[in-house]
Amino acid sequence: MKVTYRRAARTVLVRRRDTILATSIRNKIPHLHECGGLAHCTTCRVRIVDGLCNVSERTDPEANLAQQRGWDDNTRLACQARINGDITVERVLETGADIGSLAPEAIKYGSGKVRMLGLLFCDMRNFTAFVESHLPHDVVHIMNRFFTALGEPILLNNGMIYQYVGDEIIGLFGIGDDNPTRVCQSGVRAGLGMLRALEHLNVELTRDFNTELHVGIGLHYGRVIVGQMGHPSVEKFAVVGDAINVASRIQSTTRTLDVDFLVSDQVLEHLPEGTLKTGLRSEVELKGKNATSTVVEVTGLSLPDHQHIVQGMLSDFRRPGSAFGTTFYRILFSLFPETRPMFPEDMAEQEKLMLHMVEAIAYAAGRPQNLALGLTELGRRHRNYGVKHEHYPVVRLVLESTAKELMGERYTKEVATAWMAFLDTVLQLMASTSDS
């Protein structure tokens, strides 16, 4: 029996009655499964391209999820679907960034829900002058780099990219989260992450195109109506309500006040006192509003935010030539050669999985309920591979050394503290299965 992963262009042998997810894991094929393959999330889903008759019937948990989300017969949970013959599949979600697309899927056409959301608008400054001064091909290339770099912090913070409108990015926070503090924290992290990403992007754009980009970001928290709207053949997820207009106008006010990032008082109300470093505070008249609104400039976080710092480290781990997995295993085998027999002779797929795992955990940090389940299951699986409790301090040391080598001078004391705290959380959850 064989499973062909179409986009990965790989065909592997499988054991009868194994799940699709178990087959991916055994063959070192990166496959998201945020809850650990327990049918508590839908990140492991696949499309059965060929051979649906060779896959088991849906289990009750999978059937419930499929009904809630309106899946067709070919969309399956890889952790639940068992293989009885040759099949061809596509992984629907291949990176943590893809998870942002899941947020609106449970809302059916014709229905609507009232939600309190974080609404973020990011707009490029002087876009017309930028377009007129560059060749069309370069404009498209630069804009795609801009959207990629600045969209990533939205997705890393459990948000979804709602729309691109010209040079503007709109992000939503709270589609699947009712905790206002967590939603507002995610929006602030995303906004600051976008400014950090733009700094790195501008270094590259100055070198390659002799240009710099500048943005204004506005964040508001308010009540909106969300739903699938439009003609049934082209229905789309949509957000309507005064709050989204307010967020757009706050963003526009960044230009008037000559600041990069403004948040509304409604955002500040849901954050613990002293969370933010703030600058200008102003009472402004937003277009179309009768009363004034309070907006506050955000310049940073008052206390080190480990989640925000670790998100920033990912760009170093992904840099061309950084080879995170290669570096990790080189250091591991150098310091602890006795661990080499635990791994296959050809390490290429194992090295890819190492970065995939770190990225997936960083994305899942915004969904702690899934993260705990997933890490506990990951620890159980590693215990079956022969990993023991005493191995986890070794992994911690090697991951510390890997980050230090890849980041160089950027591996500051603050970064090291955040990275160690992140690793402690991850490894303690994984190691907990070794104690049972």
Burial level of 405, CB count in 10 A (0-12/13-18/19+)? middle
The CATH number linked to 313 is 1.10.490.10
**Rounded to whole angstroms, how far apart are CA atoms 201 and 330?**
30
Directed axis angle between helix 413-431 and helix 392-407, to 10°? 150
The mean pLDDT values, 10 residues at a time, for the chain of 436 residues are 90 91 92 91 94 95 90 95 95 83 68 91 90 91 93 93 92 91 96 96 93 96 92 85 94 95 96 93 81 92 92 87 89 93 89 90 85 89 85 94 94 95 92 67
> C-alpha 333: how far from its chain's center?
31
Contact 40, 124 (CB under 8 A): no
Question: Using CA atoms, how far apart are residues 347 and 329, in angstroms rounded to an integer?
Answer: 9
401 and 278 inside one domain: no
pLDDT of residue 108: 64
Q: Nearest-5° angle of CA 195, CA 183, CA 37?
A: 100
Please, what's the largest Cα pairwise distance for the chain? 71
Co-location of 296 and 323 in the same domain:
no
Handedness of CA 324, 329, 330, 331 (dihedral sign): positive
Same domain? For 168 and 287 the reply is yes
Answer with the one of 40, 63, 94 that is the final residue of a domain: 94
Which range marks the domain in which residue 258 is found?
Answer: 98-303
C-alpha closest to that of 24 among 11, 35, 39: 11
Amino acid at 241: G
* Residues paired with 297 in a beta bridge: 262
Rounded Cα distance, 3 and 9, in Å:
11
Q: Which residue has the tokens 């592997």?
A: 12
Does 146 lie in the same domain as 87? no
Q: Is 402 exposed, middle or buried (0-12, 13-18, 19+ CB in 10 A)?
A: buried
Same domain membership, residue 338 and residue 321: yes
Residue 160 and residue 108 share a domain: yes
Q: At 68, which CATH number?
A: 3.10.20.30
In this structure, the answer to whether residues 207 and 294 fall within a common structural domain is: yes
pLDDT score, position 436: 47
- 303, 335, 356 - which closes a domain: 303
- φ, ψ for residue 352, nearest 5 deg: -65, -40
Q: What is the DSSP secondary structure assignment for residue 344, as one 8-state letter?
A: -
Find where tokens 């262009």 sit. Answer: 9
Rg (CA), the chain: 23
Phi, psi of 312 (to 5 degrees): -65, -25
Say which residues have a Cβ less than 8 Å from residue 264's Cβ, sequence separation at least 6.
Answer: 219, 220, 221, 222, 246, 247, 250, 293, 294, 295, 296
Q: Quick one: 149 and 286 in the same domain?
A: yes
* 164/86 same-domain check: no
Beta bridge partners of 219: 120, 263
Q: Residue 138 belongs to a domain with what CATH number?
A: 3.30.70.1230
3-state secondary structure of 320: coil
**Is the domain of 342 the same as that of 413?**
yes
Residues 193 and 257 in one domain: yes
Question: Do 127 and 239 fall into the same domain?
Answer: yes
Domain-terminating residue out of 39, 69, 94: 94
* DSSP secondary structure of 26-70: HTT-----TTSSSSSS-TT-EEEEE-GGGBPPPPHHHHHHHHHHT
Is residue 4 within 8 A of residue 89, CB to CB? The reply is yes
Q: Which amino acid is at 55?
A: V
End-to-end CA distance of the chain: give it in Å, rounded: 35
Structural domains counted in the chain: 3
Place of tokens 């094929």: 29
